């Protein structure tokens, strides 16, 4: 029996799509964030997403898989359920579906129920735990991790670690008011969005894209990612961004991205992305040529982690 709840419904808008012709990965995460907020109502905790609340449901880390691309105009919906619940946290599953029932993406996230006064985790109220019992679900096979190890504890690298790994410095920025949540802190989807708008500078990871005749014909596409979130950021905080190649095979290349506070060097966000080449005309995955595997392997560092 399906115990999941409908927590969001809408469509893929043209403005949410990128040069690959499908919805940019940041917008999946924005829609999943809306689903999490709606799930709080089903847990009888509507105040957890409202300004002035005493508590909040805060993501600590998450795993996302992109399963079937969404293109402009595609109707989409998200169903959510609970995989497990502890005294102060929970493992939540969101699945985005196409109108024909095909899974478009899955997001598994570990969250904490935190106090707004102390920003520390504290126990769920009895009403939330009672409501959660009715929406428990097992993890479907298509949402299982394939290229990342979810059993490994998050590393949460800081600036010193990014430099020790010899990650490439790609850029920096400052968080804006439009990126803040109801509590004035920078929302996780906005952090993820900064990844999507910065990784294009990591040209060393995609040498195929540097060939003129390949322009508009092939590109890199993200299949799966694990993200770990550090302490909350505020409006006006500055960040620096680093990236590196972890490993490469004929089918995939694994990249690790690190976002840190530009002033303190503290961890803000880290992400391990499993990606591959995409034929934009055939809309199919491509294999990496042996010579590119050899070149990328020279700059790879398997010690990097999120």
| CATH code of the domain covering residue 183 | 3.10.129.10
Helix, strand, coil share (%) of the chain residues, nearest 5: 25, 40, 35
Among 123, 144, 165, give the residue marking a domain's end: 144
Residues in the chain, pLDDT under 50: none
Same domain, 189 and 295: yes
Cβ–Cβ under 8 Å, residues 62 and 194: no
Do residues 246 and 261 both lie within one domain? yes
- Do 153 and 40 fall into the same domain? no
Tokens of 138: 């097992």
Distance CA 34, CA 8 (A): 7
Do 113 and 89 meet the contact criterion of CB atoms below 8 Å apart? Answer: yes
Structurally, the chain folds into a number of domains equal to 2
Q: Do 30 and 173 share a domain, yes or no?
A: no
8 A C-beta contact, residue 154 and residue 306? yes
My answer on whether 32 and 135 are in the same domain is yes
Place of tokens 């949540």: 181
CB 266 within 8 A of CB 260: yes
Tell me the pTM.
Answer: 0.93
Residues 40 and 125 grouped into a single domain: yes
In which domain, by residue range, is 287 found? 146-306
From 144, 178, 213, the end of a domain falls on: 144
- Reported as half-sphere exposure (CB side, CA atoms, 13 A), residue 207 has a value of 13
CB 116 within 8 A of CB 51: no
Q: Is there a single domain that holds both residue 78 and residue 211?
A: no
Same domain, 124 and 174: no
Q: What is the per-residue pLDDT for 212?
A: 60
Integer Cα distance of 9 and 210 in angstroms: 38
- Same domain for 128 and 262: no
Q: Tokens 């600036």 identify what position? A: 159
189: part of which helix (H) or strand (E)? Answer: helix 188-196
The residue out of 99, 128, 144 marking a domain boundary is 144
d(CA 217, CA 97): 28
DSSP element (H, E) containing 274: strand 267-279
Same domain, residue pair 169 and 242: yes
């Amino acid at each position: 029996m399906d115990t999941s709840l409908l927590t969001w419904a809408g469509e893929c808008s043209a403005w949410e799509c990128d040069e690959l012709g499908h919805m940019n990965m940041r917008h999946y995460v924005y829609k999943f964030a809306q689903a999490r907020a709606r799930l709080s109502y089903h847990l009888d905790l509507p105040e957890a997403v409202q300004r002035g609340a005493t508590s909040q449901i805060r993501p600590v880390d998450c795993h996302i898989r992109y399963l079937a691309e969404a293109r402009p105009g595609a109707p989409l919906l998200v169903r959510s359920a609970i995989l497990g619940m502890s005294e102060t946290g929970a493992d939540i599953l969101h699945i985005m579906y196409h109108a024909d029932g095909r899974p478009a993406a899955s997001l598994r996230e570990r969250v904490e129920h935190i106090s707004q006064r102390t920003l520390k985790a504290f126990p769920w109220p009895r009403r939330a735990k009672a409501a959660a019992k009715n929406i428990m679900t097992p993890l479907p096979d298509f949402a299982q991790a394939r290229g990342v190890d979810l059993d490994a504890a998050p590393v949460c690298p800081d600036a010193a670690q990014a430099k020790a790994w010899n990650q490439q410095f790609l850029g920096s920025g400052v968080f804006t008011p439009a990126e803040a949540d109801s509590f004035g802190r920078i929302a996780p989807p906005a952090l993820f969005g900064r990844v999507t708008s910065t990784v294009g500078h990591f040209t060393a990871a995609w040498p195929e894209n540097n060939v003129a005749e390949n322009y508009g014909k092939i590109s890199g596409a993200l299949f799966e990612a694990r993200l770990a979130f550090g302490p909350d950021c505020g409006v006006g905080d500055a960040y620096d961004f680093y990236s590196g190649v972890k490993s490469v095979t004929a089918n995939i290349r694994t990249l690790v991205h690190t976002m840190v506070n530009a002033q303190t060097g503290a961890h803000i966000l880290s992400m391990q992305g499993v990606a591959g080449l995409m034929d934009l005309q055939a809309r199919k995955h491509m294999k990496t040529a042996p010579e590119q595997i050899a070149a990328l392997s020279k700059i790879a560092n398997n010690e990097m982690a999120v």
